[in-house]
Amino acid sequence: MSQLQIGFLIYPGVIQLDVMGAYQVLAFPPNTQVHLVWKNLTPILSNEGLILTPTVTLADCPPLDVICVPGGGMGQIEIIKDVEILDLLQQQSKSAQYVTSVCTGSMILAAAGLLQGYKATCHWAFRDQLAMMGVEVVPQRVVVDRDRITGAGVTSGIDFGLTLLGLLCGEKVAKMAQLMMEYTPEPPFNAGTPETAGEEIVQPLMQFGKPLLDAFLAQTKKTASQLNLKS
């Protein structure tokens, strides 16, 4: 059985669980080789302070069957406008079986011009911004549209990974991975969406995240304008 080449773009300020939830799933089958892709092999610091070590550089990255772009904190703003990164995504997308993202990683794909004309999702707080970039946003945990697969916020990376694994290796393998992980979530609180959390939780969280939301919005407006100029 030939190995499937799967690459996660990582970068300073990446959300570590955006990467690791899906990584855990996709590393399960023996026929997958998972790469952590960055400009060099120097360890980077995630948004949460976890150190991640790239395994392959942009220059040495092999042709990927799956390219996955996770979201990030403030560090993502630099990636959205990084021509070298956007070029890599565009090149890999030409031959990849699936072009994918988790959380706000879909905004990076959109900046590369890879989600326009597709349905996609992202973290609930950034759906309006993703739509500003010409993407048809669907408020679902995982959205599959042809060869584009996108996951919503952070923990959806596990659901995304299982969905993708089912497509790559079959439902039986995906179910085995789920069982191995004992993935049967029973959260202690019913506050995982704005609808279930209620305004008393949503509003203080939005206020807490306002600097990030505002910074992303400023860059989103610039990127949307650039995309319009290209079209």
Largest CA distance in the chain: 52
Residue with tokens 């703003």: 77
> Could you tell me which residues are beta bridge partners of residue 4?
32
The count of residues in the chain is 231
Catalytic site positions: 103
Question: Whole-angstrom Cα distance, residue 220 to residue 200?
Answer: 28
